[in-house]
Amino acid sequence: MNTKVIIQASSNSLGNTNKIVRYLNKDNNFDVIDLATKKIGHFNYEFKNKDDDFLPLMEEIISKYDTIIFATPVYWYAMSGILKVFFDRMSDLLHYKKELGRKLRGKKMAMLSNSGENDLRDGFNMPFVESAKYLGMQYLSDTHIWFTKDGKEIDTEAIKKLNDFKETL
């Protein structure tokens, strides 16, 4: 059983984020969960979304994995909307399901972002670093990957970064 999971958080299950995830996972060292295949509602103070896929997914992640890698495209200088909703729902683990949330302590987190060019803005990783810190998780690393001018292949310099990133996991 893999103890590491990649949470793929793109609205396009077969897009560039998936290309990077497949490259990173070519040796099948990671399990992959595609958030686009899950029904996860927005955070609600009355926990009206408690019966969607979020809590069962978190129970699975927390029980099976020691390392969680978030893979997200950069949309409007930030993580994808689907991943932002996922992060917002972690509030359920702080208020409604505290015992489950406490089990994140000691786990490891990393983040992999991508866009068409090598143009990531400073501070992109802050929500990941600070969330890991707040949840008592160890933040391992992050990297940004980009594609060739035609958008079809991972840039060769970015492949080197991706290989270095994999070594930190």
- pLDDT per residue, tens digit, the chain (169 aa), is 679 999 999 999 999 999 999 999 999 999 999 999 999 999 999 999 999 999 999 999 999 999 999 999 999 999 999 999 999 999 999 988 999 999 999 999 999 999 999 999 999 999 999 999 999 999 999 999 999 999 899 999 999 999 999 999 9
pLDDT given for residue 151 in this prediction: 86
pLDDT given for residue 1 in this prediction: 60
Domains of the chain: 4-168 (3.40.50.360)
The pLDDT tens digits of the residues spanning 5-45 come to 999 999 999 999 999 999 999 999 999 999 999 999 999 99
pLDDT given for residue 12 in this prediction: 96
pLDDT given for residue 34 in this prediction: 98
CB atoms under 10 Å from CB of 163, counted, come to: 12
**Are the CB atoms for 137 and 159 separated by under 8 Å?**
no
Q: What is the Cα–Cα distance from 67 to 41, expressed in whole angstroms? A: 24
- The residues, any chain, with a CB within 8 Å of residue 138's CB and separated by 6 or more, are 106, 107, 108, 109, 132
77: left (phi over 0), alpha (psi -120 to 50) or beta: left
pLDDT given for residue 17 in this prediction: 98
**Are the CB atoms for 31 and 4 separated by under 8 Å?**
yes
